[in-house]
Amino acid sequence: MINWNQIQTGLNRRTFLTNSGVGLGAAALGSLLTNEKSAVAQSVAKPSIVRGLPGLPHFAPKAKRVIFLCMAGGPTHLETFDYKPKLAEMDGKPFPESYTKGQPIAQLQGKALKCQGPLTKFHKYGQNGQEISDFLPWTAKIADDICIIRSMVTEQINHDPAHTFMNTGTAISGRPSMGSWITYGLGSETEELPGFVVLTSVGGRNPQPIASRQWGTGFLPSRYQGVQFNSTGDPVNYLNNPAGVNARQQKELIETVQKLDRFRNQRVANPEIETRIAAYEMAFKMQTSVPELMDLSGESKQTLEMYGAEPGSGSYATNCLLARRLAERGSRFIHLYHRGWDHHGDLVKYMNTCCGLTDKPTWALINDLKQRGMLEETLVIWGGEFGRTPMFQGKGGAGRDHHIKGFSMWMAGGGIKGGITYGATDELGYNSVENIVNVRDLHATMLHLLGINHQQFSVEFQGLDTKLTGVEEAHVIKNILT
């Protein structure tokens, strides 16, 4: 029998809960107050697996998790991994119209186009002579661990839609992100931390904003949304208990909310209510697990120096170390964004800035995973939402415009052949011409390494079987797999 006086009281308290900012951390205290185990016991308890869909994975995976290192803004392939002697030879000369006529050019449309030769030198590294630029001396040290893909193409020429396409497989906003797809399908190996975590850092030219919908769940249950950890201050908003509210008051609030949720769920069986209940439970566990995750005091001085990590700094270096710690603790998809790669001008200056902030920490992450025996089961992906043009764009010093017809990314670990280069652009670095890799192919390959057949992994939405890889044909890049 429902006590409607209690329900009315609950509604009033729920209004207070919403308006007062008593969020997930407060809600989670209900678990704390009713659980016989102490917070210390909870924090050291062995995490159990949060399972995914029945029947997944489809086959034995080579990777257990993904760390995606997004260089937001679009790093130039022509100063990183794709040396073009012909472009150097044509520096300052008119760019051939045959390449660009009728083609999408973001900010150079209607302007006189001149060839911009490479703005740095390249050398060969590793057993197979991987060509890597002087901007990336630390990445050069892991040449034998990475597979450089030089023939990437995408379909969106401006930042936000290009990120949307890279993250969701479509330019349509509101679709599930790849991290959400993967945690929905495979679950997580921890109940103490989110399965999908996002970390951001800034440094370089014109840092483009990153909208939270880039790690949203779209039509999937919202419990699979990426959780953004803040760079400074409280790692997760509303995780700590609010000031001025004692344990008994919070217990009463929680009990009322739980009664309302159970009552409502009996009537409508709404999965979002189940998500809310699960979020309360996760929030409680995060009250102990997140501070432990963020506390780097247990890391050796050698490890901190290797990454260049400074606790609490919110730097890319610190985020790389946190990514390793999240991987150790069972998170399934860890997405790092470094904003600052939009180099329309002063490219040399800002490449030095961005590479100075990211190159060594990226090497450290690969090296650390390898030393701990984790690289072989962790898929690491490096790249931006698109590349840069072979034509000059000057806003200050020499720069390059957005480019979607050919750019470079790399992959390592988790079933990827190291020390190889796959695909190629033409002699000027404009069009991908050999072993072309669409973003959808990247997604198909990532899913394959996680043990998922992308063609059989779909959710019905608006009458369609919707997939991360979309309705167009996508291919697993088999030649780069071990």
Tens of pLDDT, residue by residue, the chain (482 residues): 434 444 344 444 444 444 444 444 433 433 333 333 333 333 333 444 778 999 999 999 999 999 999 999 999 999 999 999 999 999 999 999 999 988 878 788 878 899 999 999 999 999 999 999 999 999 999 999 999 999 999 999 999 999 999 999 999 999 999 999 999 999 999 999 999 999 999 999 989 899 999 999 999 988 899 999 986 767 776 566 677 777 677 667 767 777 787 777 777 777 676 666 666 666 667 777 888 999 999 999 999 999 999 988 999 999 999 999 999 999 999 999 999 999 999 999 999 999 999 999 999 999 999 999 999 999 999 999 999 999 999 877 899 999 999 999 999 999 999 999 999 999 999 999 999 999 999 999 999 999 999 999 999 999 999 999 998 899 999 999 99
Strand partners of residue 461: 464
Contacts of 122 (CB under 8 A, 6+ apart): 83, 131, 132, 133, 134
Inter-CA distances, 405 with 56, 78, 175, 428, Å: 35, 13, 24, 12
Residue the block writes with tokens 């001025």? 244
Fill in the amino acid letter for 143: A
Structure confidence at residue 279 (pLDDT): 64
Domain membership flag for residue 21: no
Whether residue 400 contacts residue 78, with contact meaning beta carbons closer than 8 Å, is answered with yes
Peptide linkage before 57 cis (omega within 30 of 0) = yes
In sequence order, what E strands does 128-195 have? 130-133, 146-153, 187-188
What is d(CA 148, CA 168) in angstroms, rounded to the nearest whole number? Answer: 22
Domain membership flag for residue 273: no
3-state secondary structure of 373: coil
3-state secondary structure of 356: helix
What is d(CA 149, CA 274) in angstroms, rounded to the nearest whole number? Answer: 42
Domain membership flag for residue 19: no
Both tokens of residue 333?
């998809």
What is d(CA 104, CA 421) in angstroms, rounded to the nearest whole number? Answer: 27
Residue the block writes with tokens 């946190």? 322
Selection from 185, 198, 182 nearest residue 236 by Cα: 198
Strand partners of residue 72: 339
**HSE toward the beta carbon, residue 385, CA cutoff 13 A:** 29
Contacts of 38 (CB under 8 A, 6+ apart): none
Phi and psi at 276, nearest 5°, equal: -65, -45
Residue-wise over 294-303: b if at least 16 C-beta within 10 A, else e?
bebeebeeeb
Radius of gyration in angstroms for the set of CA atoms belonging to the chain, rounded to a whole number? 24
Structure confidence at residue 247 (pLDDT): 61
CATH code for the domain of 185: 3.40.720
Structure confidence at residue 263 (pLDDT): 76
The boundaries of the domain holding residue 185 are 65-237+301-480
Whether residue 431 contacts residue 425, with contact meaning beta carbons closer than 8 Å, is answered with yes
Strand partners of residue 202: 339
Fill in the amino acid letter for 290: V
Both tokens of residue 293?
């995750």
Q: What is the DSSP letter of 329?
A: H
Both tokens of residue 408?
């470079």
Domain membership flag for residue 8: no
Domain membership flag for residue 256: no
Domain membership flag for residue 89: yes
What is d(CA 211, CA 272) in angstroms, rounded to the nearest whole number? Answer: 22
Domain membership flag for residue 253: no
Phi and psi at 456, nearest 5°, equal: -105, 10
Domain membership flag for residue 360: yes
Whether residue 189 contacts residue 64, with contact meaning beta carbons closer than 8 Å, is answered with yes
pTM, rounded to two decimals: 0.86
What is d(CA 345, CA 392) in angstroms, rounded to the nearest whole number? Answer: 9
The number of domains in the chain is 1
What is d(CA 333, CA 320) in angstroms, rounded to the nearest whole number? Answer: 13
